[in-house]
Amino acid sequence: MHPCSREMQGINYVLNPSSQIPLQDLQNQQHQQIQNSPFDPSSSSNDDFLDQMLSSLPSSSWADLKSPWDLNPPTSLNIPINNSSAKPREDETPPSMPENVGFHNFDESVILAAKLRQHQISGGPSPAVAAAAKAMLQQQLMMATRGGGLPQNDVVDGSSFKSPTRGDGSVQALYNNGFGAGSMHGTGQASNQSQQHFHHPQEGSLQAQNFSTPGAGAGMAMNQPQASGSTGGAPAQPRQRVRARRGQATDPHSIAERLRRERIAERMKALQELVPNGNKTDKASMLDEIIDYVKFLQLQVKVLSMSRLGGAAAVAPLVADMSSEGRGGAGGGGDCIQATANGGSLPRTNSNSTQTPSSNDTLTVTEHQVARLMEEDMGSAMQYLQGKGLCLMPISLATAISTTTSHSRNPVLNSNHHSLLHSNGEGPSSPSMSVLTVQSATMGNGRGDASVKDAASVSKP
Amino acid sequence: MNPHHHSSYLNPNSLKSRFTKNFLRSLIKINKQTPFPCRPTEMFQRCHKVKTAADKSLACAVGSRRVWSRAMLCKIRNRALRRGPQKPPSVRRIIINNRTMKKGFNCLKEKMNDDQEAGIDQTSKLRKLVPGGEAMDLCNLLDEAAHYIKCLNTQVQEIHDAERIESLGKD
């Protein structure tokens, strides 16, 4: 009859370690149980998971032993929320445990073995504990097949539960139980420290080997932990033929993690090439650059589309906002945007530029107006200027532009420029403020030039 | 970049040419619909229409190959739908994420790892910027962001070039 209950499947699996299907079923059941318990984000790492599992194991397995035929998943298997809460529980249970410890039934030991196997596989445990758990598992099975009842261990070393790596402690306890007051007991007691933990299961396994013919995978389990245990780095579980490189784990979780990280690194490199100033080595700053660049591009599209058909008036609110937000500090982005805004609005105002020689007076008036507006609100000043197709820029920049545009096709510009400079000296605005209004009629010179010349930034004292 | 630049002019199927075609077509439509506005509010609306047209034509040019283009198209269509009958924003959100919600809890778990990988602020900011970035893990998000940046670059360049040509023509 095909075994249907979990325990039966456990038996089936342990006897046939090569069959994969029951294992997956076990895993699924185990995972279902695990997911019933609330998700504990603090213990997301694999080691913590195993610790939790193994720490909860003694209490749960004892409960199992009491009622082996309980088909409902044992509620005590629910992972304790934090390790600290589990500890006192464990300390209480040991005194009562020895009575229940005896593996009276073959089924019970196999249940435990199956559970450990599941924990080992699903938890992705630290190599030492995995090897130890597996070894112990095999021993249990062998002992059970050998003589039915295992000798009881009266003295469950309470301190073993308090060992620093609690997973080791619980395995130790079970290990001790398995061999009772035998020769291993003394060594088991002595090996409470985690460092020596590696060797004892191996020794135990050696002895266990002497006792009886092991299960199918036991031989391999025994050999491999001996060989690799001392390195402390590379586990070699019989179910995976691949040997891991030193310092790297073979369990699927960390492999997936590694792959994921590599992929992310690839993508970041690709982004680095796209984004200007992408020479940052730090991931966080690189992300900042990316974010800024995307914002800049989106803003550029917005402004371009507005300035295309909108004319100056519609652009003014946008530009005013930008100037109030990021004056001087917006870097190339802000400047270029204002540039293109002005560039876009110029076709409107180019027709007006022919009137400039006669409108020197109006320019002065404009200046006064702008100065007045600036005292109250930058935004409205900008708006006013934009309505006239003008922009603000520091004098130094304006002089730089005028020198480069000496060949511009609009000679009116220079005269205006000089007259404005002249009039600015007497301007009503405070002398510390470097403000110059220049008619940026350099649109016709093409895009590349426009982006340089029309850069507008207001510098405030 | 330059060799590609030249080839894209000649290649009728490149992203650039597709985008330009769509964009100009939509611009012509806009021009036909409304005569040139004089009042600021009308101008503002028109600018908004132009921007939407630009985005939409970009998304159409990319097609459904990318998550962000699909998300953008959804958003635009929903916005257009919303203009008519007044739909609440919550409905819009559901529609946008419909396609991407299939990932379920896997997404959440990966997003928590993503926040560990890079700063939590930055990933959330990036998700907001890239359309459709809310429901992607970091790996895909970076991928989409790269493609989005490329397309945005193309878009900006195209609009600017078209504008320059137009202004030259006006003179």
Quote the DSSP letter at residue A93: H
The pLDDT value recorded for residue A132 is 47
pLDDT level of residue A178 (50, 70, 90 thresholds): very low
The pLDDT value recorded for residue B52 is 79
- A28 pLDDT more than 70: no
- Pick from B41, B160, B164, B168 the residue to mutate for testing the A interface (most A CBs within 10 Å): B160
Residue A130: how many CB atoms within 10 A of its CB?
23
The position carrying tokens 């036991």 is A218
The pLDDT value recorded for residue A242 is 61
Is the model more confident about A23 or about A255?
A255
- Token pair, residue B1, equals 């970049």
Average pLDDT over residues A2-7: 52
pLDDT level of residue A385 (50, 70, 90 thresholds): low
Give the phi and the psi of residue A436 in degrees, each rounded to 5: -145, 135
The pLDDT value recorded for residue A308 is 62
Average pLDDT over residues A188-202: 45
CA A338 to CA A348: how far, in whole Å? Answer: 16
- Token pair, residue A257, equals 């993690």
Question: CA A142: distance to chain centroid?
Answer: 44
Distance from CA of B91 to the nearest CA of A (A): 25
Selection from A90, A85, A60, A86 nearest residue A73 by Cα: A60
DSSP string of chain B, one letter each residue: -HHHHHHHHH-TTSHHHHHHHHHHHHHHHHHHHSPPP-SHHHHHHHHHHHHHHHHHHHHHHHGGGSHHHHHHHHHHHHHHHHHSS---HHHHHHHHHTTGGGGTHHHHHHHHHHHHHS-HHHHHHHHHHSTTGGG--HHHHHHHHHHHHHHHHHHHHHHHHHHHHHHHHH-
pLDDT level of residue A360 (50, 70, 90 thresholds): low
- A340 pLDDT more than 70: no
The predicted complex's ipTM stands at 0.78
The pLDDT value recorded for residue B31 is 76
pLDDT level of residue A2 (50, 70, 90 thresholds): low
Q: Any CB–CB contact under 8 A between B170 and chain A? A: yes
Highest mean pLDDT among A408-412, B35-39, B49-53: B49-53
Selection from A363, A341, A346 nearest residue A416 by Cα: A363
Asked whether the beta carbons of residue B167 and residue A346 sit closer than 8 angstroms, the reply is: yes
- CA separation (Å) from B157 to A292, B1, B163? 18, 13, 10
Distance from CA of B55 to the nearest CA of A (A): 9
Instruction: Give B-chain residues touching A278 at CB under 8 angstroms.
Output: none
CB B75 within 8 A of CB B65: no
Phi-psi region of A236 (alpha: psi -120 to 50; beta: other; left: phi over 0): beta
Average pLDDT over residues B24-51: 75
Residues A265-285 pLDDT 10s: 888 888 888 888 878 788 888
Q: Any CB–CB contact under 8 A between B139 and chain A? A: yes
Element (H, E) at A58: helix A46-66
Q: Any CB–CB contact under 8 A between A352 and chain B? A: no
Q: Any CB–CB contact under 8 A between B55 and chain A? A: yes
Selection from B124, B65, B75 nearest residue B98 by Cα: B75
- Token pair, residue B2, equals 């330059």
Average pLDDT, chain A: 54
Q: How many CB contacts within 8 angstroms connect chain A with chain B? A: 123
The pLDDT value recorded for residue B54 is 78
Average pLDDT over residues B112-130: 75
The pLDDT value recorded for residue B85 is 61
CB A344 within 8 A of CB A307: yes
Q: Any CB–CB contact under 8 A between B149 and chain A? A: yes
- B153 pLDDT more than 80: yes
Selection from B54, B75, B79, B22 nearest residue B152 by Cα: B54
Average pLDDT over residues A242-252: 67
Highest mean pLDDT among A58-72, A119-133, B49-63: B49-63
Bridge partners, A438 (sequence order): A391
Average pLDDT over residues A355-363: 54
Asked whether the beta carbons of residue A291 and residue B126 sit closer than 8 angstroms, the reply is: yes
Distance from CA of A309 to the nearest CA of B (A): 7
- Lowest pLDDT segment from A25-29, A48-52, A368-372, B43-47: A25-29
CA A309 to CA B50: how far, in whole Å? Answer: 8
Q: What percent of chain B has pLDDT over 90?
A: 0
The pLDDT value recorded for residue A350 is 42
Element (H, E) at A438: strand A436-438
pLDDT level of residue A142 (50, 70, 90 thresholds): low
Q: What percent of chain A has pLDDT over 90?
A: 0
Residue of A nearest to B127 (CA): A291
pLDDT level of residue B62 (50, 70, 90 thresholds): confident
Q: Any CB–CB contact under 8 A between B44 and chain A? A: yes
- CA separation (Å) from B50 to A255, A439, B15, B44, B74? 49, 27, 19, 10, 18
- A61 pLDDT more than 60: no
- Token pair, residue A210, equals 């002497």
CA A416 to CA A429: how far, in whole Å? Answer: 19
- B150 pLDDT more than 80: yes
- Token pair, residue A208, equals 């266990």
Question: CA B105: distance to chain centroid?
Answer: 27
Highest mean pLDDT among A324-333, B93-102, B137-146: B137-146
Quote the DSSP letter at residue A407: G
Q: What percent of chain A has pLDDT over 70?
A: 15
The pLDDT value recorded for residue B18 is 81
A287 vs B122, B155, B164: nearest CB = B122
